[in-house]
A = this chain, B = another copy of it.
Amino acid sequence: VSQCFADRLTDAVIAKRVPAVVNIDPVADRLPAEFAASGSSGRPTNPAAMHQCLRDFGREVIDIVAPIVPVVKINIAYFEPYHAAGIEAYDELVGHALRQGLIVIGDVKRGDVGHTAERYARAQLSEQESPTPKGPDAVTVSGYFGWDGVRPFIEVARDEGKGVFVLVRTSNDSAASVQDILTQDGGKVHEVIAALVTRWAEDSGTLGRSGYTSVGAVVATRSAEDAARLRANMPRSIFLVPGYGAQGGKAEDFKPYFKEDGTGAIVAAGRSIIYAHDRAQYREQFGSDWRRCVEQACRDFVADLRTCLKSQESEPRP
């Protein structure tokens, strides 16, 4: 196993022949019926049962998608409502996904001033203080504090062979009100942060044979032009791109995030896959078999992405 996160990620994408990420972000009231342990509403009612349901469902989804995609992303926000038990479930899912051979991104969006950021960096990326065998391979971090808030994450990541994805441009509707503020030189705020990330990546000492560093970026612009500009300006950063499926993005929208050679980005889909049992097209085909719904939705996502990226290799025939 290479000690360079960018190389490990690149190898995993090559092995699965698709730069796809599945988000494992379960919420209690959208789980398949069999996980709705108790309660008249069909939902589990006590916190202990709920976090166990999320964990068991998440584990099964991971097992289903593991042969198909190279990466899963687990957002800790979906586990924090269950406090200590929720964090235990999150840690267990991270460990389970690692054991399945997946690259695991902890979507934690942490950030703070320097000495406090160091605590977060160790908590989320370091093996040392963890009771679980390994933390995730990479985490998402806030760039709002500037260098001294991000440095601890980059340093721990470098020392542990892991990675970070700095929030540059997020996918939500309101993002523009802050991230697209026009600056004095006619650019946008997220471009200034992108320039900082580019420098941090270059100085990180993590450049791999893939041509990328372990300092990536979360990027979801409103226009193809913005995406292409960031792609050109951040040559050493892999982009983590949210927004496929439930968030409205189609595969063709994601092309500008990639370099000509098809590298440079991974695209994430979440609710459209893990809740495929709620989608008519899959329910009609597979009835109440939620596992087959998830598997087919994942295969469709991957095929869509491959087609759009005009992958030179074709889907293997069964």
Min distance, Cβ A249 to any Cβ of chain B, angstroms: 13
Which of the four size classes fits the interface of chain A?
35 or more
Q: Give chain A's interface secondary structure class.
A: helix
**Smallest CB gap from A186: residue in B:** B184
Contact partner of A183 (CB less than 8 A), chosen from B91, B120, B182, B242, is B182
Contacts of A310 in B (CB 8 A): none
**Smallest CB gap from A48: residue in B:** B131
Is A296 part of the contact surface with B, judged by Cβ < 8 Å? no
Contact partner of A142 (CB less than 8 A), chosen from B75, B144, B147, B182, is B144
**CB–CB A120/B80 < 8 A:** yes
Is A81 part of the contact surface with B, judged by Cβ < 8 Å? yes
Is A40 part of the contact surface with B, judged by Cβ < 8 Å? no
Contacts of A183 in B (CB 8 A): 181-184
Q: Which of A56-64, A110-118, A253-261 contacts B (4 or more CB under 8 A)?
A: A110-118
State whether A81 and B113 are in contact (beta carbons under 8 Å apart), knowing that A146-B172, A174-B147, A184-B186 are contacts in the complex.
Answer: no
Is A148 part of the contact surface with B, judged by Cβ < 8 Å? yes
Contact partner of A144 (CB less than 8 A), chosen from B47, B167, B173, is B167
Q: Which of A13-21, A188-196, A233-241, A275-283 contacts B (4 or more CB under 8 A)?
A: A188-196
Q: Which residues A61-101 have CB closer than 8 A to chain B?
A: 75, 77-78, 80-88, 91
Is A170 part of the contact surface with B, judged by Cβ < 8 Å? yes
Is A286 part of the contact surface with B, judged by Cβ < 8 Å? no
**Smallest CB gap from A220: residue in B:** B113
Complex Cα distance, B189 from A312, in Å, reads: 44
**CB–CB A170/B192 < 8 A:** no
Contacts of A47 in B (CB 8 A): 129, 131
Is A178 part of the contact surface with B, judged by Cβ < 8 Å? yes
Contact partner of A119 (CB less than 8 A), chosen from B78, B110, B117, is B78
**CB–CB B178/A145 < 8 A:** yes
Is A149 part of the contact surface with B, judged by Cβ < 8 Å? yes
Given contacts A113-B170, A142-B142, A182-B183, 16 further A-B contacts (CB under 8 A): A47-B131, A75-B116, A77-B110, A77-B112, A81-B123, A83-B88, A83-B131, A83-B132, A84-B131, A85-B131, A113-B242, A142-B144, A143-B144, A144-B167, A177-B196, A178-B192
